[in-house]
Structure 1
Amino acid sequence: MKGNIKAPQIIITIYLLIMLSFMSKINIPLYSLFNDSLVKFGMNFVLVLSLIPMMKCGVGMNFGMAIGIIAGLIGMCFSIELKLTGIVGFSAALMVTALFGCMFGYIYSKVLNRLKGKEDVIGMFCGYSFVFIMNIVWTVFPFKNRVMLYPIGGKGLRPKISLELYFDKILDNFMKINIGKIIIPAGLLIFVAFITAIMIFYFKTKSGKTMEVIAENEKFAELSGVNINRYRTLAIILSTVIAGIGICVYTQSYGFVQLYDVPLNFAFPAVSAILIGGASRKNTTIIQAIVGTYLFQTTYLLSIPIANAILMPELAETLRMIVSNGIILYAFICEGGEKGLWKKKK
């Protein structure tokens, strides 16, 4: 398809319209869906946005997103340990996240730069390996705040740490706008827009444009005197830091810091969202990230109440998994709006 609207968006939009017709029949108010979809979009968009630097530099999709997410979790744990609350606590978490994200991203880049052409697979293994290493580290971190520790023994961090006393929904509730029954989380959307604006500005600079040239033709860029590994390293660090910021945004909306294996749950949905938006490995835009995130999260949001109303409640989780993984599979098959895995080589 040569237009701006490609097959993934058309099919997912049709699927959404079908589910919306079910919503009207089971008396679920559309304003409630719209309110929840805005929050879900804001929660997840920065994580999807973190994929763009690596994709624009030709490094591939960041299946090692868990590395950046762990940087964000460490940042939030430090903020909770110091008992910082409100905007101060959230800002402190972001600063620590950026510090650890730069360190982790630099190490991660060294691995990917040695194994060019296999970044997706290597990134996935790096993410899994780092999560399992951190599963040990979480149990020995010398934190003292009792809110974070297991109640029995007083050692090791809990799998879920409540943010209720710290910065729970600090962005969601900031500048919240009520228009009748519609609630717009303006603070959350403004923060997301701010991160997006920084990303747009960066890719208009010389450094950002050089990354795009590398993705289009790495050999040409190398012959032009561009230090390929330097820009790849920068892109990987940027993606890692933004992923850390993304999990901070997600967590303040969710209300709990989730440790141990949970960081593994974010890479595939984020990648599938940006692919549904029409992106490909070396060509992606902010608009594609926005469209893909909203379509994916709204589809995900609709599946549970419809399953509960139409099917047995016990089948709701099964249907949710079928829908979620089906979307991910479709996104990979139709990568970039074309039937990627089915496309015959000429």
Structure 2
Amino acid sequence: MRDNVKGVVRQVGLPRIIIGGFFLLLLFTASGFGMDLMQIVSDIIRRWGMYGVLALAMVPAVQCGIGLNFGISMGIVGGLLGGLIVIEWKIAEMPSLVAVHPLFAMWVAVLIAIVIGVVLSTGIGWLYGLLLNRVKGSEMTVTTYVGFSIIAFMNIAWTILPFKSGELIFPNAGEGLRNTISLASSYSGVMNNTLKFSINLPFGKVEIPTGLLLFFFLMCLLVWLFMRSKTGAAMSAAGANPMFAQASGINVNRMRLIGTTLSTVIAAVGILVYAQGFGFMQLYNGPMMMGFTSVAAVLIGGASATRAKISHVLIGTFLYQGIMALGLPVINLFIPEGNLSEVMRLIISNGIIIYALAQTGGESRD
């Protein structure tokens, strides 16, 4: 019996069991206090789709051998620039597009933003990959440093970039981008609202953001297909055993470049999916910790520093966002002081991140 329990723990992963148990505890506590569980479940599903693509960016990075990519901020910057350019050009307000359907205009806007973000992040990711090829063995330190450094650099860039739209720049200043950019006139909630429907249950109504989930699953499918392609298999081999891969004729440096670039590109797409869900983009220090939350999500999903799979992204993002969605409302019932809400959010999120990082091992749990 004991051996069977140990086998289950080893296969599922202790962090996943503990985090899953904590999630269920929060769920039962919320139910006991009479909270609207269906509304919370709807929020968890929405957050799952919004954050999932950012967590997905970890898969090619881990598989190619650079490890947990704290530097996805490089790609996030590319995605943010794509979103800003679309707003500057007023794509979603073009009469020819709006005449077809307002939702069509919003989809064109977000897809153009994604294309621009992918182009920019491809170049950024390639240069980033060249850097990581020169610091083999110290990737985690370098990616963390690069992730924070690009945010610091962009804090300066956001104040001098030549955007002119009144929706982007500080009022009465004439230059410098706002801290928070509203997407109300461009593509706010376009994925969330596409094909959205509700399921009426005995306990309430659950809203399903169909378009958002379909896009998230499509991204997962594309990455899954790539990882099973000839290039993806070679990339995984290079990450798992560089010396053997080199002896087999695989160009390890090139595979690392491909994985790093792909991770950066997915992060660019992810930030736009995330932003449209909330209805705004945050510049300056807003994206600083997104690399850490993405790392924590895949780790509690069962990934390690040397292996990550799509299932780790799906499970880990759901658990992480579930705890974040449930944690604050439950804690506010015990500590009703409103000023503590942001403090508790940081304690919960950073606690999960620290725990997930502490559980990182050299072998996959699956």
Would you call these one fold, judging by a TM-score over 0.5? yes
Q: Partners in 1 of 2:77 and 2:223 — Cα distance?
A: 21
Q: RMSD of aligned C-alpha atoms?
A: 1.6
Q: Partners in 1 of 2:162 and 2:342 — Cα distance?
A: 37
SS in 2 for 1:182: strand
SS in 1 for 2:281: strand
Indicate if the aligned counterparts of 2:61 and 2:259 stay in contact, CA closer than 8 A. Answer: yes
How much has 1:331 moved relative to structure 2?
Answer: 0.7
Partner of 1:136: 156
The one-character-per-residue Cα deviations of 1:82-101 (angstroms, maximum 9, x if unpaired) are 00110111011001001101
2:283 aligned to which of 246, 259, 278: 259
In structure 2, runs of 5+ residues without a counterpart are 1-5, 93-105
Indicate if the aligned counterparts of 2:304 and 2:364 stay in contact, CA closer than 8 A. Answer: no
Partner of 1:344: none
SS in 1 for 2:352: helix
Partner of 2:98: none
Residue 280 in structure 1 maps to residue 287 in structure 2? no
Cα distance change of structure 1 residues 338 and 281 upon mapping to structure 2, 3 Å threshold:
closer
- Worse-superposed segment, 150-159 or 316-325: 316-325
Letter in 2 for 1:17: L
SS in 2 for 1:322: helix
Letter in 2 for 1:18: L
The one-character-per-residue Cα deviations of 1:294-327 (angstroms, maximum 9, x if unpaired) are 0011001111111211113233333222221111
- Worse-superposed segment, 200-209 or 20-29: 20-29
In structure 1, runs of 5+ residues without a counterpart are 341-346
Number of corresponding residues? 340
Q: Partners in 1 of 2:286 and 2:40 — Cα distance?
A: 26
2:67 aligned to which of 56, 60, 65: 60
Partner of 2:180: 160
How much has 1:339 moved relative to structure 2?
Answer: 12
Letter in 1 for 2:253: N
Partner of 1:226: 250
Indicate if the aligned counterparts of 1:276 and 1:337 stay in contact, CA closer than 8 A. Answer: no
SS in 1 for 2:175: coil
SS in 1 for 2:12: coil
Letter in 2 for 1:8: P
Q: Partners in 1 of 2:174 and 2:358 — Cα distance?
A: 48
Partner of 2:344: 319
1:111 aligned to which of 125, 131, 135: 131
Q: Partners in 1 of 2:61 and 2:42 — Cα distance?
A: 32
Indicate if the aligned counterparts of 1:6 and 1:337 stay in contact, CA closer than 8 A. Answer: no
TM-score after normalising by structure 1: 0.95
2:48 aligned to which of 38, 41, 44: 41
Residue 89 in structure 1 maps to residue 103 in structure 2? no
Q: Partners in 1 of 2:7 and 2:341 — Cα distance?
A: 38
- Worse-superposed segment, 311-320 or 71-80: 311-320
How much has 1:231 moved relative to structure 2?
Answer: 0.8
Residue 100 in structure 1 maps to residue 120 in structure 2? yes
Letter in 2 for 1:293: T
1:27 aligned to which of 34, 39, 48: 34
1:69 aligned to which of 58, 76, 79: 76
Q: Partners in 1 of 2:317 and 2:355 — Cα distance?
A: 15
Indicate if the aligned counterparts of 2:306 and 2:363 stay in contact, CA closer than 8 A. Answer: no
Letter in 1 for 2:195: M
SS in 1 for 2:181: strand
